[in-house]
Amino acid sequence: MKLLNPGPVCLSPRVREAMLGPDLCHRSDAFAALQTRIRVGLLDVHGLDPSVWTAVLLTGSGTTAVEAMLASLLPADTRLLVVENGVYGERMTAMARGHRVPVTTLTLPWGAIVEPAKLAAALDAAGDVTDVALVHHETTTGRLNDLEALATLCDQRGLRLHVDAVSSFGAEAIPPGPPALTSVAGTANKCLHGVPGVAFVITRRAHLATCPARARSVVLDLVTAGREQDRGGTAFTQSPPCLYALDAALGEHRDAGGWAARHDRYDRLGAIVRRGLAPLGLHPWLTDGIRSCVLTAYHLPPGLEIEPFQRALAARGYLIYPGQAALRERLFRVATMGALSETDLERFTAAVADVTHARTNRRTNRRTNRRQTG
């Protein structure tokens, strides 16, 4: 099956084979070496200086990392503003509320562009905001939020910025410059091409040092986890096979030319899909502003129902995702992460043509039969 959903992704042979590495106790020297190599490798992906930044590993999925970031890195006097323009922004608000962080939102329609002027107006209206949280790539629609411009605004106002980069880390630019940028949450199994089970938060060492341990959670406590990992240990049991896979995936990412090369590759693969689907009348949902290179959402034309469409494509070996919640019947999403080739995507567009033609033929036959029997 070719996975064209936004993670988990198809694995390369190098990553798959790495999972079969030797049995390993998470309290051994060999584990400590593996963990350190991965933490350094994660910073390297976006050229982050290890004397300024630290990567803390967590066992879990992307949501684990995002929630750990919000539970651990917001000091007690935080007033948080969450930018919402999709499912994952809204989820951050729910997490902040769950941890009793005072939170206001800038709530925009799903897929909307987050203009800095809108954020500025929301900050003015809220008054006492100290921290902003936003999603870099809103996987709900494929919208890429303008991290650089929004971070600059946070800089101008002396705010800290926390970013859900779960579906962008490793393939979209993450500017290390803005002082406001305080923490970034990511996962192994999207643009990095590892397997699900390991997530991470990258944060400024100086900020982490000011945060209290176990402030809102034990299992999501990045302060203790970071301290233990700096000593070569780990607060809780980790998953060596997932870490073997991430280690290999980071090596592959580096050998292939780093995040910019991966960005270009996704762009090329996405263009093959767009070119192949346009003659079928299937067009991208977002036409303005910036879209991610990772995923494109397409209009689902009237009469094409998502479930039979998905099932027909799955029967031909391709997994796609529908839109989320209210967008379920209105769009479908195609991601180009993972070990996929140009040929895979050319064949995918041929499969879509096959499915849509079969449907048109069925409708024409039904109409002809009705006319003949009528």
Q: How far is the CB of 296 from ligand PLP (least distance, A)?
A: 14
Cβ–Cβ under 8 Å, residues 190 and 250: no
CA 14 to chain centre: 22
Position among 84, 164, 247, 344 found at the interface with ligand PLP (CB under 6 A): 164
Tokens standing for residue 8 = 């988990």
Q: Which of 203, 219, 232 is nearest to 74 (CA)?
A: 203
CB-nearer residue toward ligand PLP: 133 or 351: 133
* Strand boundaries in 276-362, DSSP class E: 295-299, 318-319, 321-322, 331-335
Q: How far is the CB of 366 from ligand PLP (least distance, A)?
A: 38
Task: Count the residues of the shown chain that bind ligand PLP, applying the rule CB under 6 A.
Answer: 14
Q: How far is the CB of 61 from ligand PLP (least distance, A)?
A: 3
Contact call for residue 88 and ligand PLP (CB under 6 A): yes
Position among 59, 167, 292, 296 found at the interface with ligand PLP (CB under 6 A): 167
CA distance 93 to 98: 9
Q: How far is the CB of 104 from ligand PLP (least distance, A)?
A: 20
Contact call for residue 226 and ligand PLP (CB under 6 A): no
The H or E element that residue 187 is part of is strand 181-187
Cis previous bond, 8, omega within 30: yes
Contact call for residue 240 and ligand PLP (CB under 6 A): no
Q: Which of 317, 337, 364, 369 is nearest to 171 (CA)?
A: 337
Site track for ligand PLP across 39-78, x = CB under 6 A:
----------------------xxx--x------------
Site track for ligand PLP across 12-41, x = CB under 6 A:
------------------------------
Please list, in sequence order, all residues whose beta carbon lies within 8 angstroms of the beta carbon of residue 171, skipping any fewer than 6 positions away: 191, 259, 262, 263, 266, 292, 293, 294, 337
CB-nearer residue toward ligand PLP: 291 or 349: 291
Tokens standing for residue 197 = 């089970």
Is 310 exposed, middle or buried (CB count within 10 Å of its CB: 0-12, 13-18, 19+)? Answer: middle
Q: How far is the CB of 124 from ligand PLP (least distance, A)?
A: 27
CB-nearer residue toward ligand PLP: 131 or 164: 164
Contact call for residue 135 and ligand PLP (CB under 6 A): yes
For binding to ligand PLP (CB under 6 A), which residues are involved?
A: 6-7, 61-63, 66, 88, 135, 137, 139, 164, 166-167, 187
